[in-house]
Amino acid sequence: MQLENPAIVAFILRRIALSLVTLVLLSLMVFFGGQVLPGNVGRAILGPFADEASVQALNQSLGLDRPYIVQYWDWISNFVQGDMGMSYAFRSPVAPFVLDALANSCKLALVAFLIVVPLGILGGIVAALNVNRPIDRIISLGGLSVTVLPEFVTGIVLILIFSIWLDWLPVTATWPEGAGLGTQLYHLILPSLPLFLVLFGYIARMARAGMVEALDSDYTRTAVLKGLSWPTVIRRHVLRNALLPTITVIATQTGYLIGGLVVVETLFRYQGIGSLIYTAARGKDFPMLEAGILTIGVVFALATLAADLAYTLLNPRIRLGAET
Amino acid sequence: MKDYRLLDLLRRSRTPHENHLIDGLVDGRVSRREFLRYGSVLGLSLPLLGQIGAAAGLGLMPGSARAQAAGGALRVAVDTPTGAIDPVKTPDVGGLVMLQQTGEFLCMDGQDLVLRPMLAESWKPNDKGDVWTFKLRKGVKFHNGKEMSADDVAASLNRLADPANGSNALSVFKGVLSKDAVRKVDDLTVEFHLDAPNANFPYLVSSDNYNAIILPADYAGDFEKNFVGTGPFKLEKYTPKVGASFVRNDDYWGDKALLDRVEFTFFADIQPQILALQGNQVDLINQLPVLAGAGLLNDPNVEIISIHSASHYQIHMRTDMDPFKDPRVRRAIALSLDRDKLVKGLLRGRAQPGNDSPFAPVYPSTDTSVEQRKQNIAEAKQLLEAAGIKSGTKVPLATQRFQEVPQYAQLVQNAAKEIGIEIELNVMDSGAYYGDAVFGKSTWLDSVMGITDYGHRGVPNVYLSAPLRSDGSWNAAHFKNKEYDTLAAGYVAALDLEAQKAAAGKIQKLLLEETPIIFGYFYDHLSAVRKGVAGVEPTAMSQTFLARASKK
């Protein structure tokens, strides 16, 4: 495998530039889209029954009586200098909220990943090696069935079983302050399970499909015929080809696992970035909303970049820079 | 047995208003419960009310149960506050529960809706009822060590009445108390110079007005840093979006708290709170909506604290738009509802039927002789026919996705169908429903028909003005009726319980006739505690007072 280094650097730079454009567009959409929604910030903070005079006084003190374009410019020019701004609702800097939530989300996503990725791939391999046998049916059908169950259903059932009846795991995922790694992990097992159920079927099916195709291919037959041992064939020829689509799937799920877990975070009472964005959107807390969404945007961009790089590492046929 | 000699003795040095109330009790025109409640508003102390009650042969005040065990920590589940905790601005349940953990009010409106002295020892109106004088408690210390005085009280309440401060309490004080109308008389006396006579004013500076905690005069808007107040608990730690803990204040002016600490955990939804209670991770759910909490109502490990309240949903009908221009159509819709069934089925019995006026059964001034409106399909159909409304007429109904409101809207839809009105539901997010909450920019205020949540109030004054008066800022029904406006103003000013009742009766009858708003039921406030927890005092405002709480 020979990588052309200048090409890969150019590729990364181009991807970063594209991501920046995407992020700016995203921030514009969030800001101006939010202005179209009914209600205003002061009203969202003080509630429907506050006097209009109070609402206007509050909007004025937050600088929201200025033209939208001025507000946006003010916000983005600070943002690019590393100042995420002040939350309208919480009247304190946004950065600690977003960074804490991001750290929490990453921890939960990591635990879920560590459980679901190896098991999903393993499930796919086992299914593929036993195509159309009962074990394959169980993995494929079972995985698909639990994928369609909503997280709030599986979440409640899991809490009832493991927390309330068996009393093995805590109901809420938020660990006591200053807890060590072990305690944190202990609190994250239960909320990871609904995510496992959602993703297992997906990843296993992708891995199975890739495996089946690779097992059926000419190069596998060639490898077998030239006398390589079966495990070597699987490792060197089948898996390397079979896992490419699975990696893409896993990468696209990173965004969901970090930013899209509003239901799981609410049910397990976990301060992740998904619910941070959700409440900020409902409360029209734009600095918080923008910071949260852009953070997720960066995570998405990094995840896809990582997937592309992993792709090239696994598959030397893909030449970066489009010169091939 | 009535002890007239003792009564005479007790009557001395009482004002004419107070003596009139005492006469009412002795003659049986005023019930014991009404006497306690209204006497407390006039500023009669509870021991005195008890003595008068005893002399009138009606027994003593109910004694408050004393909890046995002391010490320990109590864990409370509460809705996540929606923003910074700031007494001036906080509008939500999670936030107001935080305020009252360390902050205190001039008076306290408890579970029985009887006002009790808190930071004020006594209060009295002038003859007209437009100047109220409050005597403050001596020796009350803020958590920062400073002694509380009239300056602090005047500054705290003037701050809330000032339109420049973005105050959430401004809508309560509008037309009642203007900026700088709270004046210090001496270190322990303040006077409230009201915009108009107001017989129930003490409720507006009680725990009912959850923003009205007394802060140091030099409060700089940074409550969240130290939660400085005068209460039985003081702040240990507050983490936005996560939780808060408080410890006993050993310098407290009254009986010290029994618990060592209280820990509040914030939740974004009710379902996880229920699971946390069942999983023994919390001891108390501050507020339990009946529909979501149905599973806990019969749980043997859980005790439900249920308080009658004036919380309700208003179904408004645009009196200036078809088909509701004709009051007969509005009455017909109101007659289609089976209120007893609503209370039993939808609310699991945890509500009281409404009679299409804000006069809830909990208010002592409600005229209970006014006939309760009951379902009458035949009469409703007749009214529609007389009004020339054809069967199959379509009406849009907009409402918010909040607690049992969507289910209520469906039941209203089914009921209307029985009399030939086709209601088309449009259930939306609460934020979208309220919009800017001003006319022309709000589904709530502009819709032909809508259902809106109204939280509890200790007196019906706000319900009588903002949603119903011609100039009311929440008048979604666009109801404009001069006679009503005069009656409502008369009710608010009436200093005498019987005059209030008479005014209430007239308002109730007028609203039954006009029916701009359907008040289907008034729902109870529910809290859930684990067995073994005692002395928790929730209020209908969704507050939770924990000074007397204990845990086995």
* Reported confidence tier of residue B58, pLDDT bands at 50, 70, 90: low
CB-CB neighbors (< 8 A) of B437 in chain A: 39, 43, 48-50, 52, 55
What pLDDT sits at residue A318?
65
- Spatial distance between the Cα atoms of B306 and B405, rounded to a whole number of angstroms: 20
Task: For CA atoms B472, B478, B480, B484, give the dihedral sign.
Answer: negative
Strands (E), A5-144: none
Max Cα distance, chain B (Å): 71
Using an 8 Å Cβ cutoff, are B430 and A39 in contact?
no
ipTM entry: 0.87
* Reported confidence tier of residue B475, pLDDT bands at 50, 70, 90: very high
What pLDDT sits at residue A12?
82
Contacts of B399 (CB under 8 A, 6+ apart): B405, B406, B409, B425, B426, B427, B428, B433, B450, B451, B452
Residue of B86, B164, B436 lying closest to A38 (CB–CB)? B436
Which of B423, B252, B443 is closest to B323 using CA atoms? B423
Q: What is the DSSP string of B108-162?
A: EE-TT--EEESSEEEEEE-SSSSEEEEEEPTT-B-TTSPBP-HHHHHHHHHHHH-
CB-CB neighbors (< 8 A) of A45 in chain B: 82-83, 89, 91
Q: What is the DSSP string of B343-381?
A: IIIISTT-EEE--SSS--TT-TTS-TTSPPP---HHHHH
What's the token pair of residue B517? 């708003």
Indicate yes or no: CB of A170 within 8 angstroms of CB of B441: no
CB-CB neighbors (< 8 A) of A53 in chain B: 163, 170
- Spatial distance between the Cα atoms of B398 and B315, rounded to a whole number of angstroms: 10
CB-CB neighbors (< 8 A) of B269 in chain A: 266-267
- Spatial distance between the Cα atoms of A91 and A95, rounded to a whole number of angstroms: 12
Q: What is the DSSP string of B252-295?
A: -SSSPPSSSEEEEEEESSHHHHHHHHHTTS-SEES---TTTTHH
Q: What is the DSSP string of B159-227?
A: HHH-GGGT-TTHHHHTTT--TT-EEEEETTEEEEE-SS--TTHHHHTBTTSTT-----TT--S-HHHH-
**Residue to substitute from B171, B172, B211, interface A, most A β-carbons within 10 A:** B171
Q: Please write the tens of the pLDDT for every residue from B125-160.
A: 999 999 999 999 999 999 999 999 999 999 999 999
* Reported confidence tier of residue A319, pLDDT bands at 50, 70, 90: low
As beta bridge partners, residue A281 has none
At B540 the three-state DSSP class reads: coil
Half-sphere exposure of B324 (CA within 13 A, CB side): 29
- Into which CATH architecture does domain A104-285 fall? Orthogonal Bundle (1.10)
* Reported confidence tier of residue A4, pLDDT bands at 50, 70, 90: low
What pLDDT sits at residue B111?
81
Give Cα separations from A238 to A45, B488, B542 (angstroms): 57, 83, 63
- Spatial distance between the Cα atoms of B79 and B92, rounded to a whole number of angstroms: 9
Contacts of B60 (CB under 8 A, 6+ apart): B50, B53, B54
> From the CA of B358, how many Å to the nearest CA of chain A?
17
What's the token pair of residue B134? 């409050």
Chain B (48-107) residues lying within 8 Å, Cβ to Cβ, of chain A: 80, 82-84, 86, 89, 91-92
Report the relative pairing of strands B449-454 and B393-400 from DSSP bridges.
parallel
Q: Please write the tens of the pLDDT for every residue from B355-383.
A: 999 999 999 899 999 999 999 999 999 99
Q: What is the DSSP string of B33-64?
A: HHHHHHHHHHT--HHHHHHHHHHTTS--PPPP
- ∠ CA B516-B471-B371, nearest 5°, is 30
By mean pLDDT, which of A99-103, A241-245, B30-34, B318-322 is the weakest?
B30-34
* Reported confidence tier of residue A323, pLDDT bands at 50, 70, 90: very low
What pLDDT sits at residue B2?
73
Indicate yes or no: CB of A38 within 8 angstroms of CB of B442: yes
- Spatial distance between the Cα atoms of A205 and B18, rounded to a whole number of angstroms: 80
Q: Please write the tens of the pLDDT for every residue from A61-82.
A: 999 989 989 999 998 899 889 8
- Spatial distance between the Cα atoms of B298 and B281, rounded to a whole number of angstroms: 19
At A29 the three-state DSSP class reads: helix
Q: Residue A257: is its pLDDT beyond 90?
A: no
Amino acid occupying residue B216: P
As beta bridge partners, residue B125 has B132
Q: What number of other Cβ atoms are within 10 A of residue A144's Cβ? A: 14
What pLDDT sits at residue A15?
83
Task: Give residue limits of the domains in chain A.
Answer: 104-285
For tokens 């909450």, what's the residue?
Answer: B437
* Reported confidence tier of residue B22, pLDDT bands at 50, 70, 90: confident
> From the CA of B74, how many Å to the nearest CA of chain A?
16
Half-sphere exposure of B33 (CA within 13 A, CB side): 9
By mean pLDDT, which of A161-175, A193-207, B9-23, B453-467 is the weakest?
B9-23
Q: Residue B453: is its pLDDT beyond 60?
A: yes
What pLDDT sits at residue B234?
96
What pLDDT sits at residue A1?
42
What pLDDT sits at residue A306?
83
Q: Please write the tens of the pLDDT for every residue from B195-216.
A: 999 989 999 999 999 999 999 9
Q: Please write the tens of the pLDDT for every residue from B66-119.
A: 444 578 999 999 999 999 999 999 999 999 999 999 999 999 998 888 899 999
> From the CA of A214, how many Å to the nearest CA of chain B?
46
Q: Residue B270: is its pLDDT beyond 60?
A: yes
CB-CB neighbors (< 8 A) of A159 in chain B: 275, 279
pLDDT cut 90: percent of chain B above it: 81
| Pure H helices in B72-120 | 93-102
Using an 8 Å Cβ cutoff, are A247 and A314 in contact?
yes
What pLDDT sits at residue A147?
86
As beta bridge partners, residue B248 has B233
Using an 8 Å Cβ cutoff, are A296 and A102 in contact?
no
> From the CA of B452, how many Å to the nearest CA of chain A?
10
Q: How much is the mean pLDDT over chain B? A: 92
Q: Residue B59: is its pLDDT beyond 60?
A: no
For tokens 């618990």, what's the residue?
Answer: B259
Q: Please write the tens of the pLDDT for every residue from A167-191.
A: 899 998 988 888 888 999 999 999 9
Contacts of A200 (CB under 8 A, 6+ apart): A116, A119, A120, A123, A143, A146, A147
Q: How much is the mean pLDDT over chain A? A: 87
Element (H, E) at B473: none
Indicate yes or no: CB of B89 within 8 angstroms of CB of A90: no
Residue of B89, B166, B431 lying closest to A39 (CB–CB)? B431
Orientation of helix A286-314 relative to helix A244-259, angle to 10°: 160
Residue of A37, A47, A91 lying closest to B168 (CB–CB)? A47
> From the CA of A92, how many Å to the nearest CA of chain B?
8
> From the CA of B199, how many Å to the nearest CA of chain A?
23
- Spatial distance between the Cα atoms of B400 and B406, rounded to a whole number of angstroms: 7
Orientation of helix A181-215 relative to helix A134-147, angle to 10°: 130
Q: Please write the tens of the pLDDT for every residue from B376-412.
A: 999 999 999 999 999 999 999 999 999 999 999 999 9
Q: Please write the tens of the pLDDT for every residue from A15-73.
A: 888 888 988 998 999 888 878 777 789 999 999 999 999 999 999 999 998 998 999 99
What's the token pair of residue B522? 């008034």
What's the token pair of residue B195? 């915009």
Nearest CA in chain B to A94: B240
Give Cα separations from A67 to A24, A159, B98, B517 (angstroms): 19, 48, 35, 39
A226-233: average pLDDT? 86
Max Cα distance, chain A (Å): 84
Indicate yes or no: CB of B170 within 8 angstroms of CB of A170: no
- Spatial distance between the Cα atoms of A44 and A62, rounded to a whole number of angstroms: 13
Using an 8 Å Cβ cutoff, are B257 and B547 in contact?
yes
pTM for this entry: 0.89
> From the CA of B31, how many Å to the nearest CA of chain A?
34
CB-CB neighbors (< 8 A) of A91 in chain B: 83-84, 86
What pLDDT sits at residue B64?
45
Using an 8 Å Cβ cutoff, are B129 and B198 in contact?
yes
CB-CB neighbors (< 8 A) of A49 in chain B: 91, 171, 437, 466, 474
> From the CA of B503, how many Å to the nearest CA of chain A?
26
- Spatial distance between the Cα atoms of B83 and B237, rounded to a whole number of angstroms: 17
Residue of B82, B91, B435 lying closest to A50 (CB–CB)? B91
Q: Classify residue B247 by its DSSP letter.
A: E
Cis? peptide before B323, omega within 30° of 0: yes
Indicate yes or no: CB of A171 within 8 angstroms of CB of B272: yes
Residue of B241, B279, B474 lying closest to A171 (CB–CB)? B279
Indicate yes or no: CB of A47 within 8 angstroms of CB of B84: no
